[in-house]
Amino acid sequence: MTTTKIGSACKAALAVAITGSLFAGTAQARLAGHNVILVHGFQQEDLANPPANLQEVKDAGEDYWRTFWLSRAEARIDWGSNGRIEGGIAQQAYEQVRQISQQGLCNDYCVIVSHSTGDLVIRYLLENQARWLQSEGLQPLKILAVLDYSGAGGGTELANLAMSLAYNDSWYNWPLRAAVKAFTGIEPEPGKLGVVNDLQTNMARNLAVSPNSIPRLRFVAGGSSYGGITKPFIAGTDDGVVPTHSACGATTADGIDSCSSGISLAGKITSQNGPDGLYYNHYPVLMNEGVTHSGVLGSETGNISVPVVNNTTLNGLRVDFASRTYNQRAWWQWWGSGDRYIEVPGSDQTDMSNLVYSTLNN
């Protein structure tokens, strides 16, 4: 195996140092000098046992982020998954957006971190929050950027199947039924699927799609969730819940294999079935073939992250991940230089959230 390093020595040193930061004593509740706001994803427990009030919603939201991001954020926008985005979810979210504005947490700009369906929730809020707040004489939130982990803004085919199963379960075979139940946590019934309605690919892709000036940095997973039983029912590559076409920010719901036409999720530099286009201001920054849908939030190590959009500044936020390219031969290859790969060195020694936080905060 031959190796060629790209980038400065300090970037390489940072990649090695990331592991040590896992054990840092006191976490800062800021990222690149700005307050962090968290927006969680779909919580299937809300369908089986709908929360009785906003306090229960907030308690669940706090637990959602406990692995890594909770101690690094100044506020959260929590919401109940038994609601609809343009209904109860918007009302719950706006109560918290109002408080964030009144407290001035985003007066010097803030960074939003979303996961999964949080991508779609925050997209709706970004389109409407200025008008809502100004109608009450409040200052709109100043958002520097949004970090979207496993973003479900483009929906998921699992939601399409869940809705179909809810209204006509006569012919579906048991593997499909098992996949849908793994995703929703319940036997689908009309009127009981909450935000799953909004996660249908056509619904998601027609909700709050007006372009705006806030960059969406995408962090994309390709691991296996629920023991792999959901993967056969999702178009293209996926993380067991969200298809790559959604996580990358692709403009269509066609199944794709990577966010890049020239790099695989595993970092192999070769032709790929990538997106025909990306939503305005959406930037696939990192891909990781091994990490799962929930593992991106800090619970999984041992997986290599691959840089896509790198060495750039987005709305004042510097994206500068260490990277290296190398050649690798398969065990059966006795000749030639092997295949070419690119990776973030040392990324398998930490988790994806810590990698992103340490790099952007540098």
State mean pLDDT over 84-94.
Answer: 97
Please state, in angstroms and rounded to a whole number, the distance separating the CA atoms of residues 277 and 252.
Answer: 8
State mean pLDDT over 158-174.
Answer: 88
Q: Are 273 and 303 in contact (CB under 8 A)?
A: no
Residue 169 has pLDDT above 80, yes or no: no
The per-residue pLDDT for 245 is 98
**Closest C-alpha among 226, 271, 218 to residue 244:** 218
State mean pLDDT over 196-204.
Answer: 98
Q: How confident is the model at residue 316 (pLDDT cuts 50, 70, 90)?
A: very high
Residue 25 has pLDDT above 70, yes or no: no
Residue 14 has pLDDT above 90, yes or no: no
Residue 92 has pLDDT above 50, yes or no: yes
Q: Indicate left, alpha or beta for 325 from its phi (over 0: left) and psi (-120 to 50: alpha).
A: beta
Question: Over pLDDT 90: what percentage of the chain?
Answer: 86
Q: Are strands 312-314 and 306-307 parallel, antiparallel or unpaired?
A: unpaired
Question: Could you read off the pLDDT of 209-233 as tens digits, one per residue?
Answer: 999 999 999 999 999 999 999 999 9
**Closest C-alpha among 293, 308, 286 to residue 117:** 293
Using DSSP, state whether 314 is helix, strand or coil.
Answer: strand
The per-residue pLDDT for 340 is 95
State mean pLDDT over 83-110.
Answer: 97
The per-residue pLDDT for 12 is 41
Q: Are 337 and 28 in contact (CB under 8 A)?
A: no
Q: How confident is the model at residue 2 (pLDDT cuts 50, 70, 90)?
A: very low
How many other C-beta atoms are found inside a 10 Å radius of the C-beta of residue 10? 11
Residue 291 has pLDDT above 60, yes or no: yes
* Element containing residue 218 per DSSP (H, E): strand 216-221
State mean pLDDT over 134-143.
Answer: 98
Q: How confident is the model at residue 337 (pLDDT cuts 50, 70, 90)?
A: confident
Residue 23 has pLDDT above 50, yes or no: no
Please state, in angstroms and rounded to a whole number, the distance separating the CA atoms of residues 243 and 148.
Answer: 14
- The highest-level CATH class for domain 27-321+350-360 is alpha beta
